Structures are given as C-alpha cells and as structure tokens.
A and B are shown apart, each in its own frame.
Chain A
C-alpha cells in the first residue's frame, strides 16, 4: 500500500503524542475509521489512508492536509456544528471516541435550500436568483437568527500574541519585571514547533523548556484563541474557542494592555510548480510534526524538494523512521548548513541546483505517483528533465514571518507594539526576551534577570521561491497555485495583469486572493513573490482570522457598556 500510513514500529522519538494502543473510532464523510488516543483528526485520517479531505472552492480539486495546524486550508467541521468558526484545521481537533466530522462548508452553502442542502454552482445560483426576482417563488429559508456571541473585556499590562518560543520568552521577561501578562495562542498547544527542532535552552530541550514555561503561565496562557485585530488604541480583539471539543462555540475577548508583543512566528512557504496543491504534497514542518507526534509517514517513497535547510531535517527524520527518501532536490547551488552536513553523513541522495516542475497523480486514488524534476538552468537535454517515482513530496520554500497582524494594524514601538520574530530558536528566544524587556520598560518596570541561554544552530539563508518562479512553465501555470485556499493560479495572475489591472490592491481583489477558508495564510508569501516578478507591487496581507458580523456587533455592545 502506498500513501500516508502509520509506522508499524516507530523508533524512539517518533509518535510521542500517541497514547499506547488505545483505539478511538470516529466518522468522517459517512464512513467509520479507527485512530488512537493522542491522534488529531488529521493524523487519524492519514493513518486510515484518507488523504483527500475536501474539494477546493472554485475548481473542485481534491485537497488534503498541506500545512501546519492554524495555517492549513483544508478545514473540517464537526457534525452538528455550523457557522463561520466551525471550520477548524484538522490538526487542531483532538480525536475522541465517536467523533463525527465532515468537510467544512464554504460560506455560501447555506444559500442552498431548493436543492436539499447541496451547494449550488455559482451559475445555477445566479439563475435561481434571477428567477426569484421575477417569479413569486417561496421565500428562501434563512439561518435562524442566533443570539450574539458572548463578549468580555479584559485588561492587563502586557499581552503577548503567540505562545511559541519567542512569545514564551517575552512573557517570561515581562513576568520577571512583575507585570500582569496574558499570552494568546491560536493553536491548541503552546510551544509552537519547538518539538521539531534540536537545541537546548537552560539545559532543557526546546520542547521541555516551552512546556515548563507554559505550565508556569497557567491560566494566563489562553489557548485556542485567535487575535484577529489590534485597534488604534492598542486593544487586541481575540476570538476564543471556548470549548475545545466544539470549535464553533466562540466568544469574543477584547484585551486592553499597556504594551503588545507580537510573537506570531514564521510559517513555511509552499513551492510553486504544476499541481502543487495535490494531496500528498506536504510542507516540511507539517510532515515532521506528523512523524514525530503521531508516527505518520507521508508515504513509502518520498521526494524532498527544498530551498532551505528545513527540508534536510525532515529528510533525516524520514530516513530514521525507515521511510525511503528517493531524492532531496535543493534549488540552491552550494548549501553548507549543519542540517545539510547531517543529511550527507546519513547518505541521503542529494541533487543540488534542481527544482520540481510538477507532480503526476493518480486521480482514482488521489495520491501521487511521480515527481517531475529538472535542473534549475539549462534548456532541452541539459535541463535534465526526469521523473522520479514517489508517493509523497515534501516541500520547503523557507520561512516567512507571520506579519499580517503587524501589517494590518500599522502600529509600532512608539504605540507600544513590539515585534519578536526570530527565524531560529536562538534568535526567537533572544528577540522575544528583548521585546518583553522593551514592553516592560515602556511601562516603567525593569527586568533584572538575564535572558535564557540557548544553544541551537542557525540555518543558512533560504532561497525563497526564486528558482521555482524562474522555472515556472507558462503551459502549466493554470495548475500552479499561488493561493491554494482560494484557488488562484499563476495563470490567473498573469491574465489579470495582462487585462490591465493597475495596482496591487485592485489586482488582489480581482483575483480574490485570501478568499479561501484559510484567508490566504497557507501560501501567504507566494502572491507577493509572483507580484514582484511581474512588477505589480505588494499585495495586501492575508487575513489573520475573520470575524462575523455578529462578533463585531458583540464588540460594539462591549464598547457601549
């Protein structure tokens, strides 16, 4: 069998979240599956060999897990849930016995009433509306009005957004100064991706240090809470999922604080090539997280395509877990980082200066069967086009800061908003500590403790997606996605630019960038890179999370109270 599967006998260090062999059965799309306690819905589905989870909103292409938790675009909803926030990343839903899940409906699905609940195609919906305007059809059934979601106000000295290493270090610094701190974390767990990287802080592993810090924070750490906006007055609007087993139940919290630390970390860039949205194409961090946390292998024969050192870390992990790594393709000419040396020492097959140009997939099964690759430069024979047999492709386009909140609020240190964004553990902790110290000194408090000592290696600079954009074949640009969640391809961008859309914002609106369930977060940096190559300026930041009208009205009630 090929495709994703659970390792039969995971070596030590893999499957650390799994709770023995305690089975948990669940339903997805009307069928029964069995996972383990310690699984998330994502790992449970992949362990059962289900890699196609949903269809894309505009083109109806099969989609599955691609990115890590809060950035992923293939969202699911639990049975019985409805509403805008019922759609949750499958990696954020902890598997429970008798759980039932389905694909999350796009926003317009509740418009379907005459068709027995099925979403209408846009053309059919438009026809129905035209008829409705001229014929006395029965009135459409609308969602019954619900009471406004609960809202409350909260105040503290420093609010830290993000509970990764940087956020936890910032919170530790502010607490060392004796300040009242809140840490808001969008995902269900603190520590971010600390368990996926090597290194030590104060003698502990990154994960152990993060867990200790999170435990020390206790109730001050608010998990499952997404900061969606920072007001002009510095108040942070947070949408909390109050009940972890019912993602659709949300409450609003507006936190006023003397200082805000933005420690939202980085997200991994996908790569751009033909069919880069197929199930089986997985970001490097997501693949490593599934492997280490729930012992899920992405496939049997795996190709790794990278422009950064992170792909090598995943390749080494895969080899240790007993998965065949067919080839590691690096777009860079001469990478020299520590992770690369380790991969070489392990004898992983390496191909430098080469890129993936497309994947072959099996429509019947939904998985990959091959990966097309070629040299970064050269034409014809010297391009060295080749097809590698593989059932999964791990991609890593380097890391880009999650800066949408900072860009959207437009506030800086003068207004009490401090940014901590380090690309690796050492810099994350150092910048987090510095931001916490700066926030404290703004409030007149002093930090007398020394910053935690970190020993971790740094990555070499990544190459972004430049090599992939150079090699993008115009003939296949209509399957090379720049916004995977909203189904926007490179061909769409070229066509809109050719039609004469003048200006980045107008171009982004015309393309519908960020219109998917992920708000454009999964592939946030790809549109910016492609816009830059065609001289179209910088597109707007992706959405950090979408409030509903009801949530905004609830916030209005809070201000009036």
Chain B
C-alpha cells in the first residue's frame, strides 16, 4: 500500500563541504540559515535535537522593541513590523496577532525607569508610551481584579507569534532555498587549522566549511568552553508553562518583573518565570486571580543565557571563521530577525547595522564598565 508519507520531502544528502554551517535548531538558527542561503551560499544546519522552536523562544513568543536596554532598543526598533512582513512571505501560514505588550512596574522607581524607556522608544519611533493605572485595567481584563495597579509601559505594535508554526515555516522556506537541515546531528568538535575554523566534526564524519555560525547557546558552550575558549555567558534557570487552548482574552502580552505572560491566537496562555517550586503559579495567581481556574497543559524548564554584561553576542568571534548569535536572555525571539540580518550582512559584505557594535563578541569592557566594577 502507498503510504502518504512516502511522498514526503526526501532527507537531504550530507555533503563534504558547505560555505556556511549553522549550529542550532531554533528560530534564530533557521532565520540565519535561510538568509545565508538567500545570498547564494551552500548552507547546512546541524541541530543538536529537533528542528523546532527552542524552549526559550517558546517561553516568550513575543516580538517587541521597547526593551530596558537602550542598545537593544536601537537594534530591535523595527523588529515587530519586520517579523510581520517576513511571516507574510513564508510558504506556510503562521498564526500571529498584533497584541501589544504591557510592561508593568513593581515600584515607584520602576515607573521612572519605564518612563525613561518610553522616552528612548519615542526617539527611535517605536509606538510605546506610559499608560495610567486605570487604562492598564481597561487594556488587560485579568489584571483589573488585581490590587495596586501602577502606570505601565504599553507598546502597541508588539506581535505574539505561534512560534512552533514559525519554526516550521522557516524550516520549509530554508529547505526550499537549498539549506540542508539535519536534526539530531550534534556537532562534536570544531575542526581548526592554524587557529581558524575549517569545519565541524559530527562524531563520525568531518564536514568542511569556512564559516561556522553558532546559534544555540548550550551547543556553543560545549564547543567553545570545552575547547578551552571563553564565551562570557551566564545561565539562568527558568520555568514556563502553557495552558489549554481557548482561555479567555487577556489583552496585551504582559511583562511583570521576571514573569512574562502571553496568549497566542489559539488561546493558549504561555507564562514564564523563576524556576523555584510553583513560584510561577503563585505569582500568576497573585497578578491575575481570574486565571486560577485555568488548567495547565504543560510545565517545562528552560535555561536562558545572557552575556555576563547583560548583552547578547552577535557577530564575528575572536576565532577566525567563527560567528556567534548567542545570549539573548529572556527575549530571544525579538532579536532573531535583526541578528540574522546582521550575521548575513557581515558574512556576505552587505550593509550592516552600526547599532550592533556594542554586541560584537570581540568587545572589551569599556573604561566606564571597568570603573563601575571597581
């Protein structure tokens, strides 16, 4: 009998050499691989596990611009608009919604800090402004019942994405562009010659290349640190949970200190927060009491990695032939698009965004940083 899957896309054959090898299997890695292939390079993507949205991307599936970090704000100012445009060109449909994002403040100086973010956002023409407590309650029904609402930062154009569908569509687009996708193919070591990277070792096989892009934090740490290199990333253990589909409307996505809350078009609420036992559920119920009857479909741990100075690493590493897109912290999805464009621009001598300079992996602590440490 003919099985429908016999007609499925044939698995790509592994070649001896590629122009670019991307390590990682999430949205970030797929976006980079696809842009490299669009520049007529031969590209292979080696994922340590499945090729699907990474846990940190699923934990906060929101693309937004109004970060507290002024430098991130500068590079991601156009991110929501661009992700919508990119999605409309993908071969598979990706459910997404312009939900907006509310950043709540915990205390009085929180409000001041958020006001400063709003001012910076205005300077780079991001639609984000402070809204008074009354309007916060109107925007977000579940928060309305909570006590002690304070003014919050509202970013109107933030986008919530079905990140699994996005990864699948990106994978399909990458495969159409000729990228070789290899799930469950962890890279064992980087092959180096005279300091420069010249390939990857898959354990049973060497694959040559002149450029390796590391877009998976944990794989990068294994490859670099265990090769006695330095990677200046720190880890944070978090937890995220998803609810059943069809939950009530919650208004914009919400950031409250270290807890995030978003709801996708199918009505699945995703919340992420500290990993301590049930602390996340406790915080959510305190924040939005009406959610307490919501059934929890899954709970998963997630490790997020940030640069030791709190900033991601995007660009060429100290090792020739090695490129990094790592350490985006709790907000990895917003950075995926800009970082992919930056890496592809650097690799293929296209125009790059000068605002990415503070994120270069080769950066050294500035005089000011050193003084702060002292």
B125 CB-CB contact with A under 8 Å: no
CB distance from A526 to the nearest CB of B (A): 16
A30 CB-CB contact with B under 8 Å: no
Query: Nearest B residue to A142 by beta-carbon distance?
Result: B290
A510 CB-CB contact with B under 8 Å: yes
Say which residue of B184, B247, B291 sits within 8 Å of A503 (CB atoms).
Answer: B184
Also in contact, A83 and B141, with CB within 8 A (given A500-B168, A500-B171): no
Cβ–Cβ contact B7 & A498, under 8 A: yes
Cβ–Cβ contact B145 & A145, under 8 A: yes
Q: How far is the CA of A140 from the CA of B143 in the complex (A)?
A: 12
B164 CB-CB contact with A under 8 Å: yes
B92 CB-CB contact with A under 8 Å: yes
Query: Nearest B residue to A108 by beta-carbon distance?
Result: B246
A412 CB-CB contact with B under 8 Å: no
Query: Nearest A residue to B181 by beta-carbon distance?
Result: A502
Q: Identify which of residues 505-557 in chain A touch chain B, using a CB-to-CB cut-off of 8 Å.
A: 505-506, 509-510, 512, 514-515, 533-534, 543, 546-550, 552-553, 555-557
CB distance from A558 to the nearest CB of B (A): 9
Cβ–Cβ contact A546 & B296, under 8 A: yes
Say which residue of B100, B245, B286 sits within 8 Å of A515 (CB atoms).
Answer: B245
B99 CB-CB contact with A under 8 Å: yes
B4 CB-CB contact with A under 8 Å: yes
B86 CB-CB contact with A under 8 Å: no
Say which residue of B9, B172, B282, B295 sits within 8 Å of A553 (CB atoms).
Answer: B282
Cβ–Cβ contact B281 & A556, under 8 A: yes
Q: Identify which of residues 283-310 in chain B touch chain A, using a CB-to-CB cut-off of 8 Å.
A: 284-286, 289-298
Chain A neighbourhood of B175, CB < 8 A: 500
Cβ–Cβ contact A145 & B292, under 8 A: yes
Number of A-B contacts (CB under 8 A): 180
Cβ–Cβ contact B5 & A497, under 8 A: yes
Q: How far is the CA of A533 from the CA of B51 in the complex (A)?
A: 20
> Chain B interface: which of A124-132, A181-189, A323-331, A393-401?
A124-132
Query: Nearest A residue to B278 by beta-carbon distance?
Result: A556
Say which residue of A130, A132, A139, A548 sits within 8 Å of B293 (CB atoms).
Answer: A548
Q: How far is the CA of A332 from the CA of B92 in the complex (A)?
A: 42
Cβ–Cβ contact B249 & A543, under 8 A: no
Also in contact, A108 and B278, with CB within 8 A (given A139-B144, A543-B297, A546-B296): no
Also in contact, A148 and B50, with CB within 8 A (given A140-B141, A500-B172): no
CB distance from A84 to the nearest CB of B (A): 4
B1 CB-CB contact with A under 8 Å: yes
* Residue of A146, A502, A505, A552 ringed by the most chain B CB atoms within 10 A: A502
A380 CB-CB contact with B under 8 Å: no
B188 CB-CB contact with A under 8 Å: no
Chain B neighbourhood of A140, CB < 8 A: 141, 248-249
Cβ–Cβ contact B248 & A111, under 8 A: yes
Cβ–Cβ contact A142 & B145, under 8 A: yes
CB distance from A489 to the nearest CB of B (A): 12
A347 CB-CB contact with B under 8 Å: no
* Residue of B8, B99, B245, B295 ringed by the most chain A CB atoms within 10 A: B295
CB distance from B21 to the nearest CB of A (A): 17
Cβ–Cβ contact B292 & A556, under 8 A: no
Q: How far is the CA of A125 from the CA of B141 in the complex (A)?
A: 16
Q: How far is the CA of A543 from the CA of B244 in the complex (A)?
A: 12
Cβ–Cβ contact B296 & A548, under 8 A: yes
Q: How far is the CA of A92 from the CA of B100 in the complex (A)?
A: 44
Q: Identify which of residues 108-156 in chain A touch chain B, using a CB-to-CB cut-off of 8 Å.
A: 108-111, 119, 122, 125-126, 129-130, 132-133, 139-140, 142-146, 148
Q: How far is the CA of A553 from the CA of B293 in the complex (A)?
A: 11
CB distance from B54 to the nearest CB of A (A): 11
Also in contact, A552 and B296, with CB within 8 A (given A108-B245, A503-B184): yes
Chain B neighbourhood of A499, CB < 8 A: 92, 168, 172
CB distance from B59 to the nearest CB of A (A): 13
Using an 8 Å CB-CB cutoff, how does the interface string of A468-495 with B read, 1 for contact, 0 for none? Answer: 0011001001000000000000010010
Cβ–Cβ contact B4 & A515, under 8 A: no
Chain B neighbourhood of A498, CB < 8 A: 4-5, 7-9
Q: How far is the CA of A139 from the CA of B249 in the complex (A)?
A: 10
Q: How far is the CA of A143 from the CA of B289 in the complex (A)?
A: 9
A504 CB-CB contact with B under 8 Å: yes
Chain B neighbourhood of A409, CB < 8 A: none
Q: How far is the CA of A111 from the CA of B98 in the complex (A)?
A: 20
A106 CB-CB contact with B under 8 Å: yes
B345 CB-CB contact with A under 8 Å: no
Chain A neighbourhood of B142, CB < 8 A: 142
Cβ–Cβ contact A132 & B249, under 8 A: yes
Chain B neighbourhood of A132, CB < 8 A: 249
B229 CB-CB contact with A under 8 Å: no
Cβ–Cβ contact A139 & B168, under 8 A: no
Cβ–Cβ contact A547 & B296, under 8 A: yes
B16 CB-CB contact with A under 8 Å: no
CB distance from B42 to the nearest CB of A (A): 20
Cβ–Cβ contact A145 & B8, under 8 A: no
A559 CB-CB contact with B under 8 Å: yes
Chain A neighbourhood of B230, CB < 8 A: none
* Residue of B52, B92, B100, B266 ringed by the most chain A CB atoms within 10 A: B52
Q: How far is the CA of A210 from the CA of B50 in the complex (A)?
A: 46
Chain B neighbourhood of A514, CB < 8 A: 297
CB distance from B115 to the nearest CB of A (A): 24
Say which residue of A474, A506, A555 sits within 8 Å of B167 (CB atoms).
Answer: A506
A501 CB-CB contact with B under 8 Å: yes
CB distance from B40 to the nearest CB of A (A): 22
Q: Identify which of residues 146-194 in chain B touch chain A, using a CB-to-CB cut-off of 8 Å.
A: 164-165, 167-168, 171-172, 175, 181, 183-184
Cβ–Cβ contact B248 & A502, under 8 A: no
Q: How far is the CA of A145 from the CA of B143 in the complex (A)?
A: 12
Q: How far is the CA of A546 from the CA of B164 in the complex (A)?
A: 22
A212 CB-CB contact with B under 8 Å: no
Also in contact, A122 and B266, with CB within 8 A (given A106-B246, A515-B245, A555-B278): yes
CB distance from A492 to the nearest CB of B (A): 11
Q: How far is the CA of A515 from the CA of B295 in the complex (A)?
A: 11
Chain A neighbourhood of B290, CB < 8 A: 142-145
A342 CB-CB contact with B under 8 Å: no
Chain B neighbourhood of A550, CB < 8 A: 281, 285, 292-293
Chain A neighbourhood of B289, CB < 8 A: 145
Q: How far is the CA of A337 from the CA of B281 in the complex (A)?
A: 51
Query: Nearest B residue to A84 by beta-carbon distance?
Result: B295
Query: Nearest A residue to B137 by beta-carbon distance?
Result: A139
Chain A neighbourhood of B4, CB < 8 A: 474, 477, 491, 494, 498
Q: How far is the CA of A311 from the CA of B295 in the complex (A)?
A: 36
CB distance from A222 to the nearest CB of B (A): 22
Cβ–Cβ contact A502 & B51, under 8 A: yes
Say which residue of B52, B97, B141 sits within 8 Å of A506 (CB atoms).
Answer: B52
Cβ–Cβ contact A503 & B246, under 8 A: no
Q: Identify which of residues 47-89 in chain B touch chain A, using a CB-to-CB cut-off of 8 Å.
A: 47, 49-53
Q: How far is the CA of A520 from the CA of B158 in the complex (A)?
A: 34
A107 CB-CB contact with B under 8 Å: yes
Chain A neighbourhood of B141, CB < 8 A: 139-140, 142
Cβ–Cβ contact A503 & B49, under 8 A: yes
* Residue of B97, B141, B145, B293 ringed by the most chain A CB atoms within 10 A: B293
Closest 10 CB pairs of A and B: A108-B246, A503-B50, A506-B52, A552-B281, A550-B292, A145-B289, A556-B278, A556-B282, A502-B51, A107-B244
Q: Name 5 A/B residue pairs within 8 A (Cβ), A-sorted.
A: A108-B245, A142-B145, A145-B290, A494-B5, A549-B243
Q: Which residues of A contact B (CB under 8 A)?
A: 82-84, 106-111, 119, 122, 125-126, 129-130, 132-133, 139-140, 142-146, 148, 470-471, 474, 477, 491, 494, 497-506, 509-510, 512, 514-515, 533-534, 543, 546-550, 552-553, 555-557, 559
Given A498-B5, A506-B50, 5 additional A-B pairs, CB 8 A:
A122-B266, A543-B297, A549-B284, A553-B282, A559-B277
Q: Which residues of B contact A (CB under 8 A)?
A: 1-5, 7-9, 25, 47, 49-53, 92, 97-100, 138, 141-142, 144-145, 164-165, 167-168, 171-172, 175, 181, 183-184, 243-249, 251, 265-267, 277-282, 284-286, 289-298
